[in-house]
Amino acid sequence: MIAIFNELVGDIMEVFMDDFSVFRDSFDKCLHNLEKVLIRCEETNLALNWEKCHFMVTEGIVLGHKISSQGIEVDRAKIDVISNLPPPVNVKAIRNFLGHAGFYRRFIKDFSKIARPLTKLLEKDAPFDFTAECNDAFAALKHKLTHAPIMVSPDWSLPFELMCDASDYAVGAVLGQRYDKHFKPISYASKTLNDAQENYTTTEKELLVVVFAFDKFRSYLVLSRCVVFTNHSALKYLMNKTDAKPRLIRWILLLQEFDIEIQDKKGAENLAADQLSRLENPKDDVLDEINETFPDERLYTVGRVELDTPWYADFSNYLVGKTLSTGLSYQQKKKFFSNLKSYFWLLWSLDLWIELH
């Protein structure tokens, strides 16, 4: 299809696999463009399925979405089918439901948060227990789909605006543009953090959501100017910082290909992204209340243990007997061998200095 309509694509029509749409902003111009396309079909012997063709319409279903002058909406026929689905009774039914609902996740705020009880049932060796929490998540997703907002299509002559925010357990972003001083959303995106990402510092999380958003909306933002709104003012100066952590430097390098302007925005004003990221702690509160009474008076005494073992004992033991202290984690072992390398070169330098002097 691309080879047939090569010079027409992007100008008067758009092609996706075996589907194409011809467009223009007036009836006469659209009719003229349609004539060009039909002549090209005749020249290349391209046969059209007339039952699937719709001519000179102001709205229609394109790739599962309703396209009109107002913007992009969900296909109500598909939503009605999803809204009438019964609660899942097995893992296959959950996969089927999440697959259909996930097709329209760009219209749903907090999709990953809402679907979390259902996705837990898809984990390996997880027992299938469709609890009340799962049923609430199932009902909430169906409600969100039936009340999905209208998204605007991008205007390439206007700059994009990206509102980002990160919390302890999730990140959220909203891509949109401003029409007559009013922000209109183009797409929502959010994701929960994994265990490693939850341990990131605040600055790392705030930069992580920016990287996540630019990766998610890359097709919109490449070669386009974008204003990033964040409630973490340090990001403005981090982009020009040369002695940051290696992880931050890698992320900053990934953002260099985009035309970015970072602006501050308080959390109270950044409600769109804030709502996506302010997730409740998914982990249960397993900490006991702090007991401030100490019946044993010996707990009040503070002592210091004198250690006779020198600081280099672990290094010497490893160099002599190749033995490591038990109970070390992976990160502790990694740090130990890094320090051991420095210790070894220090000894070698001292021996060399003694030999020369």
Residue range 100-143, pLDDT digits in tens: 888 888 888 778 778 888 988 988 888 899 999 999 999 999 99
Token pair 């702690």 is found at 281
Residue 75, by phi and psi: left (phi above 0), alpha (psi -120 to 50) or beta? beta
Query: Would you say the C-alpha torsion 131, 134, 140, 146 has a positive or negative sign?
Result: negative
Lowest-confidence range among 68-82, 83-97, 144-158, 327-341?
Answer: 327-341
User: What is the residue type of 131?
Assistant: T
Q: Tell me which range, 257-266, 269-278, 288-297, 347-356, is most confidently predicted by mean pLDDT.
A: 257-266
Token pair 């227990």 is found at 129
Q: Are 135 and 177 in contact (CB under 8 A)?
A: no
What's the whole-number average pLDDT of the chain?
81
Strands 13-16 and 19-22, by their bridges, are antiparallel
| 168 Cβ contact partners less than 8 Å away, ≥ 6 residues apart | 193, 198, 281
Q: Would you state the structure tokens that stand for residue 99, as one six-digit string? A: 């697959």
> Cα–Cα–Cα angle for 317, 323, 328, nearest 5°?
110
Q: What is the pTM of this model?
A: 0.62
Indicate if the pLDDT at residue 219 is higher than 50: yes
Strand order in the sheet with 60-62: 60-62, 65-67, 72-74
Indicate if the pLDDT at residue 61 is higher than 50: yes
Torsion of CA 296, 299, 305, 311, to 10 degrees: 130
**Which letter, b or e, does each residue of 144-158 get, where b requires 16 or more Cβ atoms within 10 Å of its Cβ?**
bbeeeeebeebeeee
Q: What CA–CA distances, in Å, run from 309 to 259, 305, 315?
A: 56, 12, 12
> Cα–Cα–Cα angle for 215, 188, 231, nearest 5°?
80
Q: In the chain, what is the straight-line distance between the N-terminal and C-terminal CA atoms, in Å?
A: 80
Lowest-confidence range among 91-95, 123-127, 219-223, 267-271?
Answer: 267-271
The SS3 call for residue 262 is strand
